[in-house]
Structures are given as structure tokens and as C-alpha cells.
Amino acid sequence: MSWFTKSLKGIFDPRASGESIIERLETTYREAVATNPNAEPHQILWAVYLSRIATHGKKPESEEVQAEAAEMTLEYACLPFPDNVQALGIAFINLERPDILQQCPDIKSRYTELMAPVREARQRGQLEELYRKYNPTMAAAKG
């Protein structure tokens, strides 16, 4: 099914709309990895976030939006691909179309499931270790 057909279907089908958001972010992620093969997941998620948030009228090059992107993608960077970008996708669904999560509670449940390792690491005080597992260079730069 083409992107255009999915977009049309998404107008009438909330699940298709939500899945389309996730799929588009996954595509953007894969393209960013292909363009920047040495980038760590946090850097890739950061770029994905910036590309999507630009559709909200925000300026990705601004320091404020850059800081927002870094903060908003940090926890997702503690997950392996594709879980990381899928969780980010669900977060965007919540931001852009919260009605989808109301109509498709399994998508919201999927988010909870995807984020379980992050939640558990935070509870154990090991979030930095989990982050370092996927982003060793960025973790070292943070100090």
C-alpha cells in the first residue's frame, strides 16, 4: 500500500493513521542511519524528532528546539531499534492525535510495554548505564 493510500485511509481509520505516523518515523530513522552510519541512536532519534517537529511550525535549527529534541529523545535512546523509534512514534501520536490512543488503547499499551526497560532502569537508578549501552560516545561526552 502506498504512502498516499495509507494517508487517505488514515483520515477515516485512526489505527491506520497511527501506524502511518510510526512507519514514517521508522523510514526517517533508517534514512538518517544510511546518511550517518556512525551516529548513535540518540543522535538519530534527535534528527527524527527535529524532522517531525518541523511540521509543527517549529524551527529545528533554533537552540531551544535543539535542546527540546535532546531532552525529548533521551529516554527513547535507551532502547534498541526499532523499539526506540516506535516509542517515539507513539509519543508523537499522543502529541498530534491523542484521539487515536483513546480509540486504540492497544497502541497506548504498546508504548507502556516498549518503555518498560527505561522505567525499570530509572527505578533502579541505572538509567545512565542503559543510555551508555546504546550511546557510549555521547555518554562519555556528557561526562
Q: What is the pLDDT of residues 107-137, one digit of tens each?
A: 999 999 999 999 999 999 999 999 999 999 9
User: How far is it, in rounded angstroms, from Cα 108 to Cα 70?
Assistant: 23
- pTM, rounded to two decimals: 0.89
Compute, in degrees rounded to 10, the torsion defined by CA atoms 93, 96, 98, 104: -40
Compute, in degrees rounded to 10, the torsion defined by CA atoms 43, 47, 52, 56: 100
Per-residue model confidence as pLDDT tens digits over 14-70:
999 999 999 999 999 999 999 999 999 999 999 999 999 988 888 888 899 999 999
Write out the DSSP string of 60-79.
TTSHHHHHHHHHHHTTGGGS
Question: CB–CB of 48/87 below 8 Å?
Answer: no
Compute, in degrees rounded to 10, the torsion defined by CA atoms 26, 17, 113, 80: 0
State which residues form the domain around 109: 3-142
pLDDT score at 77? 98
User: How far is it, in rounded angstroms, from Cα 13 to Cα 19?
Assistant: 10
Phi-psi domain of 40 (left: phi exceeds 0; alpha: psi -120 through 50; beta: other): beta
Q: What is the DSSP letter of 121?
A: H
Number of residues that make up the chain: 143
Report the number of distinct structural domains present in the chain. 1
